[in-house]
Chain A
Amino acid sequence: MDKKLYKGVLIFAEQKNSNIEKISYELLNIGRQLADKLSADLSAVVLGKNIKNKSQELISRGCDKVYVYDNAVLENFQQDIYTNILSELVEKQKPEIFLIGATYTGCSFAPQLAAKLNTGLTAHVSSLEVDETTKNLKQIRPAFGKTLMVNIITPQHRPQISTVKSNIFKPAVIVENRKGEIIECTANYENILNRAKFVKFVKSEIIETDISDAEIVVAGGRGVGTAKGFELLKEFAALIGAKVGASRPPVDCGLIPHSYQIGQTGKSISPKIYIACAISGQIHHTIGIGNPDIIVAINKDPDCPMMQRATYALQVDMYEIIPAIMMEINKKNVLG
Chain B
Amino acid sequence: MSKPTPKTYLSPGHRGCAGCCDALAAKFMLMGAGPDCIVVNPTGCLEVMTTPFPESAWEVPWIHSLFENGPAVASGIEAALKALGRKGNTKVIGVGGDGSTMDIGIRSLSGAFERGHDLTYVCIDNEAYMNTGVQRSSGTPFDASTTTSPAGKVSFGNPRPKKNMPAIMAAHGAPYVATTSIGYPRDMIRKVKKATETEGPTYIHAHAPCPTGWGFDGSKTIEMAKLAVQTCLWPMYEMENGEITQVKKVKNPMPVEEYLKAQKRFKHLFTMEGGDEEIKKIQALADWNIEYFGLQ
Asked if chains A and B come from one complex, the reply is no
Hey, which bits of chain A sit against chain B, CB under 8 A?
A: none
